[in-house]
Amino acid sequence: MKIVTTVEGVREQVKAWRKEGKTVGLVPTMGYLHEGHKSLIDRAVKENDEVVVSVFVNPMQFGPTEDLDSYPRDLAADAKLCEAAGASIIFHPEPEEMYKDGFCSFVDMSGLTNALCGLSRPVHFRGVCTVVTKLFNIVTPDRAYFGEKDAQQLAVVKRMVRDLNMPLEIVGCPIIREADGLAKSSRNTYLPPEARQQALVLSKSIFLGKKMVEDGERDPEKVKQAMREVINTAPLADIDYVEIVDVNTMKSVDVIKGEILCAIAVKMGSYARLIDNFMMTV
């Protein structure tokens, strides 16, 4: 398995694969790979002849006060995981390779991004849409794999592909969790033991909310209130949002009905901002 650092290098490789009539899958990541990323790579390896994993901590999707500099990085470990999972190449460009001097073109979206994480992270989805579009143009994959862990991102990317007629399929993959329930995330490494323990309130509240809806609760306020109470039992937890939205519009629902996304974002002290969710068709 090769690590390719240039756009040109990826293009040459993909061209050679295409000559042999091969299909190509893409798994975009920011690296520091874990079992959640691996589940996307495994699926991509199953469904495509060749798989490109991009490892790029995209500066454009971080706000000025966010964790761009401290974001964990370990390319050697990432390469091991990708190789063992059967990926063909890692695309690992420097920011200067992706954003040449004078870069000034962006892909942006309205509506779906004016909710949930888009409210507390105003530049985030523009950065995501722009880098994902670039990756699609560089790799020209048949399929690209995204985790439901980032449910709003998945919805945004699916909509962008539909709206802009991008010629590929977007595949959503389920959330992979730690044994105790916490959704796997590269940012979990920021948590010292006490905060890691308290972070369990995220998954606990998600499981409770899901159970309430499964048991027939249709009032979003009741579900959100019960979830907030669980989260607030952790002294370090500071709720950014607990929302139940229509997955197609990202607008809050008055009644739990149709395709809904219940999503939360919680700051654990000053250590990390964590997200979790469940999606359901009611």
Residue 150 binds ligand AMP, judged by CB under 6 A: yes
Residue 37 appears among annotated catalytic residues: yes
Least Å distance, CB 174 to ligand AMP, is 7
Structural Rg of the chain based on CA atoms:
19
Q: Please report whether residue 220 would count as binding ligand AMP according to CB under 6 A.
A: no
Contacts of residue 118, defined as CB under 8 A and 6 or more positions apart, other chains included, come to: 112, 124, 125, 152, 250
Query: Which of 10, 176, 195, 227 touches ligand AMP (CB under 6 A)?
Result: 176
Q: Pick from 175, 202, 206, 263: which binds ligand AMP (CB under 6 A)?
A: 175
Terminal CA-to-CA distance of the chain, rounded, Å?
Answer: 44
Q: State how beta strands 50-55 and 169-173 pair.
A: unpaired
Alpha carbons 42 and 77: distance in angstroms, whole number:
17
Backbone phi, then psi, for 275, in 5-degree steps? -125, 155
Q: Which one of residues 71, 146, 271, 278 is an interface residue with ligand AMP (CB under 6 A)?
A: 146
d(CA 8, CA 166): 21
Closest CA to 18 of 62, 61, 49: 49
Give the DSSP per-residue string, 180-213.
TSPBP-GGGGG--HHHHHHTHHHHHHHHHHHHHH
Nearest to 65 by CA among 276, 235, 267: 267
Residue 171 · residue 144 · CB < 8 Å? yes
Least distance between ligand AMP and beta carbon 12 (Å)? 25
Convert residues 13-52 into a mask of x (bound to ligand AMP by CB under 6 A) and - (unbound).
Answer: ----------------xx-----xx-xx------------
Q: How far apart are CA 89 and CA 169, in angstroms?
A: 20
Neighbours of 165 (CB within 10 A): 6
Query: Which residue lies nearer to ligand AMP by CB, 88 or 220?
Result: 88
Q: Residue 277 interacts with ligand AMP (CB under 6 A)?
A: no
Stretch that binds ligand AMP, among 41-49, 85-93, 102-110, 180-188 (CB under 6 A): 180-188
Q: Is 185 in the site for ligand AMP (CB under 6 A)?
A: yes
Q: Residue 143 interacts with ligand AMP (CB under 6 A)?
A: no
Q: How far is the CB of 175 from ligand AMP (least distance, A)?
A: 4
Is residue 147 near ligand AMP by the rule CB under 6 A?
Answer: yes
Q: Which position among 34, 37, 92, 124 bears the catalytic label?
A: 37
| Among residues 138, 173, 201, 245, the one that binds ligand AMP under rule CB under 6 A | 173
Instruction: Give the residues lining the site for ligand AMP (CB under 6 A).
Output: 29-30, 36-37, 39-40, 146-147, 149-150, 173, 175-176, 183-186
Catalytic positions: 37
